[in-house]
Structure 1
Amino acid sequence: MYENLPGSATKKSMAIVHGLAIAHYNAKKLSTTPAMPIEAYAITIRLIGYGFLLYTVVDFGAALIPPQFTNPAWEFQFAGRLVELVWFPILGFGLVFAPVVSNQRGAKILAALSWCALALAILYFALLPLLVINTIRLERTALAAFNITSERRTAAYNELTQQLEALSPSNLENLLRNPPAALRPPAEATTPNTVRAWLLQRAQSEQAEARQRAETQRNAQRTNILRSSVKWCCGALLSSLMMFYIWQFSGWARLAARREFA
């Protein structure tokens, strides 16, 4: 066959034939390798989805225990926790209802899960007023605690001022001679009256600093509550819409279940 061809051409032709033979062998080998059936793939996908849904039930139960339904802080955090966990049921429902096969095995279970999606849609929508109400309750509670603390601080400052004004000159002179490390008067305070004025000024300055710190902490607390409330309210609304869409999308499962009962 290769008698009339030059030596180089003969080698090239033989290499081409050899390559085609190897390619044919590999293609034949791949064609005989068993592939994963679509039915097994669908079952695997749904099992993963069931795992996500089971984890959702466990995590929801862990967030609920121990229940404190009369505590606005617990209710607020519980609602936020449910919103943060919404991705697990979304992934679970998405994998369970994935249209990877045409058959509808386990239609009764799928129909029940479809109604569970609607129940979750209603639950997440109900979290909206719960979050708003508890935001208001937490704000009122924090404001009342701030006012009580401010009143106590003001009363303590007034009492301290009265005690400083009632100090006798001999007590102030003793303070000048033997000052404690925390109340060492400045160098210009050399008389009892200047020491008294310095003490009153220091008490007033500490009172103003304490009030400023309390107001800063109060504003930071209010900002955190409002930020979390807005975030979780938006999340609850989106979660409700997504769960409602899943319920609508899974209508084929409810229809298949009705056909089984018919």
Structure 2
Amino acid sequence: MTSEPAAPSSVVSPLAAIALKVAGAIAILSALLDFFILLIPPNLTNVQWQLATTTQLVDRGIVPLIGIALLLVGLWVDNSVGRTPQRKSLTSDLRFWACALASLLGLVYLLLILLHLNAVRLSSQQALAQVSTEAGEAAAQLQQRLSAELTQQQSQLGAILNNEDLLAQAIEGGQLPPDIQQYRNNPEGLSQFLQQRADQAQQQIETEIGTRRVAAERQVRVEAWRSGIRISVISLLLAAGFSIVGWLGLRRLLSLTRSA
């Protein structure tokens, strides 16, 4: 029984090298194009643009790293089977440009950590200021509403207190306490009674506003902390990966060039 002959390595290796180099080049070029589109048009004074851009750059940073790795592996396969032509200078070696790009991207992702943390800080400050403004506006609206309601209630109660039937119906229906009758001939006491009820309602609502404000501020800080930690750690890992590939590759190529 005869077995099928295995494919010669001289055929398989060039095909693998071509596939790796093409895949790597496409990944690198598509990533660089994607980064270019993300940066156009630039809006450096907009904190939200900074935050969104740095986040997307970091989230997509693994693509060029994989592309550079594939390209270098493809070039190594070519070199291992003796298909790499003799190059006259280092700048004509595609491996040099791949390692140089990796080194550059390593520096970029190191700087992105600082840019993103600063954008997170500014965005958090803006969000906290907005929460404070909204809480202040809510308190002001509350004060105006209670003041208008106090005037209206004073007028309505004055009319009810002067009408025995309406007063009895309001007390029986639970709309007014029984001791409201003591204010029939005491306008100042009625005003104090209404003001006391308004102050109690205001205090209760202000407490609720304060609770919501604290919760909103806590949520803003938590989201800022999560974004800062996640993007910073990923960007640091990418910076380390690009730098290792780039600097070690350049060092290796320089040593080969000197020994040649």
Kindly indicate whether the alpha-carbon contact (under 8 Å) linking 1:104 and 1:256 is maintained by their aligned counterparts in 2: no
> For residues 231 and 20 of structure 2, what CA distance do their matches in structure 1 show?
30
> Which of 150, 155, 162 is 2:147 aligned to?
162
Taking structure 1 as reference, are residues 252 and 48 closer, same or farther at Cα in structure 2, changes over 3 Å only? farther
Taking structure 1 as reference, are residues 111 and 190 closer, same or farther at Cα in structure 2, changes over 3 Å only? same
Alignment of 1:19-34 (within 5 A): 24-25=1-2, 27=3, 30-31=4-5
> For residues 150 and 248 of structure 1, what CA distance do their matches in structure 2 show?
53
Instruction: Give CA deviations for 1:133-161 in whole Å, capped at 9, x if unaligned.
Output: 22221222122222222222222222222
Taking structure 1 as reference, are residues 143 and 252 closer, same or farther at Cα in structure 2, changes over 3 Å only? closer
Q: Which amino acid aligns with 1:242?
A: G
- After TM superposition, give the deviation of residue 252 of structure 1 in Å: 7.4
Taking structure 1 as reference, are residues 63 and 174 closer, same or farther at Cα in structure 2, changes over 3 Å only? farther
Answering whether residue 123 of structure 2 is matched by residue 124 of structure 1, we say no
- After TM superposition, give the deviation of residue 205 of structure 1 in Å: 4.1
Taking structure 1 as reference, are residues 94 and 33 closer, same or farther at Cα in structure 2, changes over 3 Å only? closer
| Greater shift in the superposed pair: 130-139 or 77-86 | 130-139
1:93 is matched with 68
Q: Which amino acid aligns with 1:60?
A: F
Taking structure 1 as reference, are residues 111 and 174 closer, same or farther at Cα in structure 2, changes over 3 Å only? farther
Kindly indicate whether the alpha-carbon contact (under 8 Å) linking 1:128 and 1:233 is maintained by their aligned counterparts in 2: yes
Gaps of 5+ in 1: 1-23, 176-185
Gaps of 5+ in 2: 161-171, 181-189
> For residues 253 and 173 of structure 1, what CA distance do their matches in structure 2 show?
95
Taking structure 1 as reference, are residues 84 and 187 closer, same or farther at Cα in structure 2, changes over 3 Å only? farther
> For residues 19 and 42 of structure 2, what CA distance do their matches in structure 1 show?
36
Kindly indicate whether the alpha-carbon contact (under 8 Å) linking 2:106 and 2:243 is maintained by their aligned counterparts in 1: yes
Share of identical aligned residues, percent? Answer: 20
- After TM superposition, give the deviation of residue 122 of structure 1 in Å: 0.6
> For residues 67 and 231 of structure 2, what CA distance do their matches in structure 1 show?
21
> Which of 175, 193, 197 is 1:189 aligned to?
175
> For residues 174 and 63 of structure 1, what CA distance do their matches in structure 2 show?
68
2:229 is matched with 230
What secondary structure sits across from 1:122 in the alignment? helix
| Greater shift in the superposed pair: 194-203 or 161-170 | 194-203
**Number of residue-to-residue matches in the alignment:** 226
Kindly indicate whether the alpha-carbon contact (under 8 Å) linking 2:58 and 2:231 is maintained by their aligned counterparts in 1: yes
TM, length-normalised to structure 2: 0.72
Q: Which amino acid aligns with 1:113?
A: A
2:239 is matched with 240
RMSD of aligned alpha carbons: 3.4
> For residues 256 and 25 of structure 2, what CA distance do their matches in structure 1 show?
19
> For residues 123 and 238 of structure 1, what CA distance do their matches in structure 2 show?
12
What secondary structure sits across from 2:77 in the alignment? coil
> For residues 48 and 195 of structure 2, what CA distance do their matches in structure 1 show?
46
Kindly indicate whether the alpha-carbon contact (under 8 Å) linking 2:120 and 2:224 is maintained by their aligned counterparts in 1: yes
Q: Which amino acid aligns with 1:100?
A: V
TM, length-normalised to structure 1: 0.72
> Which of 113, 118, 122 is 1:133 aligned to?
118
- After TM superposition, give the deviation of residue 249 of structure 1 in Å: 3.8
Q: Which amino acid aligns with 2:5?
A: S
- Structure whose alpha-carbon radius of gyration is higher: 1
> For residues 252 and 104 of structure 1, what CA distance do their matches in structure 2 show?
19
Taking structure 1 as reference, are residues 127 and 237 closer, same or farther at Cα in structure 2, changes over 3 Å only? same
